[in-house]
Amino acid sequence: MTLDDISTTSTAKELGLSCVIPATPEKVFRAWTDPELVKVWYVPAPWSVASATLDVRPGGLSLIVMRSPDGQEFPAQGVYLEVVPGKRLVFTDAFVSGWEVSEKPFMTVTLTFEPCEGGTRYTARVQHWSEQSRAEHEEMGFHEGWSQCALQLAELVKTL
C-alpha cells in the first residue's frame, strides 16, 4: 500500500479517508482497540504515543497521550459511542470519562472495517462541530497525518 492508494475527502464539516488494507477486518479493528498496538502506529512518525488507555465499550474511556519529537505531550480523551467488533468503531471527544462534557468538543470519528477483495476497506469519517473546527483540523495536517498513520497501520497488521 502507498499514499496513492489512499483517498481523502473534505466537506463543510467532515474530513475523510479510505483505503484497502491487506488484512482482515478483525486485525485492523484489533489494531485500533489494543492499547499496545495503538502505541505502534497511531501517530505519524517521528511522533510517538506515550500511553494509551482504552476501555473499548459504549461509554468507555479512550485516552491516548501523543508525544511530539521534542517531548511535549498532548492528551486526546473521549468516549466510545458504538463498538461493533471487526466492523465499526465510533468515538467522540465531546465527552470525557463518566460522560462529563468536554471543555472543547472537536470531533466524532466513525471507523468502518469492511471485508473486500484485497483485505479490508478501511474508512474514517471525522465529523466536526463547526466548519471552523474542520478547517483547523485540515490545516493541522489531517490528510497527510491520517494517511501516514493508515500506512503505518497497514504495516503493523501485516505482522499480526
Judged by average pLDDT, the poorest of 25-29, 64-68, 95-99, 151-155 is: 95-99
Looking at residue 55, its pLDDT comes to 97
Q: How far apart are the first and last CA of the chain?
A: 17
Nearby residues of 50 by Cβ (< 8 Å), 6 or more positions away: 65, 66, 67, 73
pLDDT above 90: residue 28:
yes
pLDDT in tens, 98-112: 788 988 889 999 999
Closest CA to 95 of 134, 129, 118, 50: 129
- Is-contact 59 156, C-beta < 8 A? no
pLDDT band at 156 (very low <50, low <70, confident <90, very high): very high
Looking at residue 98, its pLDDT comes to 79
pLDDT in tens, 44-99: 999 999 999 999 999 999 999 999 999 999 999 999 999 999 999 999 999 988 78
Relative to beta strand 88-92, strand 73-84 is: antiparallel
